[in-house]
Structure 1
């Protein structure tokens, strides 16, 4: 595994967990602790601006996670690709079907819970980590066709509308991190139309 693939595996797993699991879970508590360390930015591998570092000092709450990812009210930026890429703006749309076909073709089992849409942003980051570690030959295809076409759009909306400093900081950090993934691997991203 190259250094870049290792970095994608590490950062994808950490960011993905934060977008997917509630902050009190055993998957996320150590990651929040990591971001509260004074020197975490030195270990991240990219220049992290002071705004992001300040936002990540906040403590995320279960209520914030609920409002951003679960509902019952409308989510400020739903974390599923098909909400943005499908003309109907629905979960379980065409982009999810394309992702499922990609997973099936490459014999990759879904990472989420049974019956859950696999195009959740957190799951897709963790999937990038898994692919970087186990099937790096398809990483560029996955990033260019499935994650990067909508990732920055989602993160921009999420950062603008998340009324929670920690999660705003994570969205900004994820934006910078994905841009470097793209640059380091020379990924050309598929053009898409956004419906939201």
Structure 2
């Protein structure tokens, strides 16, 4: 895939995925997905088919089930099924704000990027990282985008996606994960990004 001709579409797709992972489900937000999913750009050979699968899963699932699944996967104080923060996977004691999170914070500072967060939360949340990647792509900062992918996101994101696939009770979150992982791997292959291999602990 050639990145340059698809830059605007790629950034918009990443923004959508970022919001779906980061925000609690909102009925209006999900209703507004129908159009962008039906027009999903040709980002990889399977992208449009996977977007249609997500749209099908969304239309077939009650909002309450999606909301409950989001809580069980990402928010439940006990028994959470898929932690959305990178350092949970990269630290041997599964700690938040651990070394990989601090390294990512330093990377963001180097890029002049910061998030206005409403709570003291780690910035290595999958949704926030997808949003940062969208920004870098839109700004044509491809070297930084490749560093984010290979050094900070892909080393652990595959394990998160596995946890979602294993723990989700709705086809919606399984389809969302499939679409997101496919797009990230398409970017990896298009840019020939080397992915840092690290031990994972969850």
The question of a shared fold, defined as TM-score above 0.5 by the shorter chain, is answered with: yes
Gaps spanning 5+ residues in structure 1: where? none
- Structure 2 segments unaligned to the other structure (5+ residues): none
What per-residue deviation string (whole Å, max 9, x for no partner) do you get for residues 154-182 of structure 1? 11221121112111110111111111011
CA distance in 1, matches of 2:28, 2:162: 28
Pairing 1:20–2:22 present:
yes
Name the SS of the counterpart of 2:32 in structure 1: helix
Backbone CA RMSD of aligned residues: 2.4
CA contact (8 A) 2:86 2:156 kept: yes
Distance in 1 separating the partners of 2:187 and 2:82: 23
**What is the alpha-carbon distance in structure 1 between the residues aligned to residue 35 and residue 73 of structure 2?**
22
Equivalent residues in 2 for 1:31-180, closer than 5 Å: 31=33, 33-34=34-35, 39-40=38-39, 43=41, 45-46=43-44, 47=46, 48=49, 54-59=56-61, 60=63, 61-110=66-115, 112-134=117-139, 135-180=141-186
Q: TM-score, normalised by structure 2?
A: 0.83
Instruction: Please name the residue that 2:12 is paired with.
Output: 10
1:116-136 deviation line (CA, Å, top 9, x unaligned): 110111111111001111233
How many residue pairs get aligned? The number is 192
Change in CA separation of 1:53 and 1:44 when aligned onto 2, cut-off 3 Å: farther
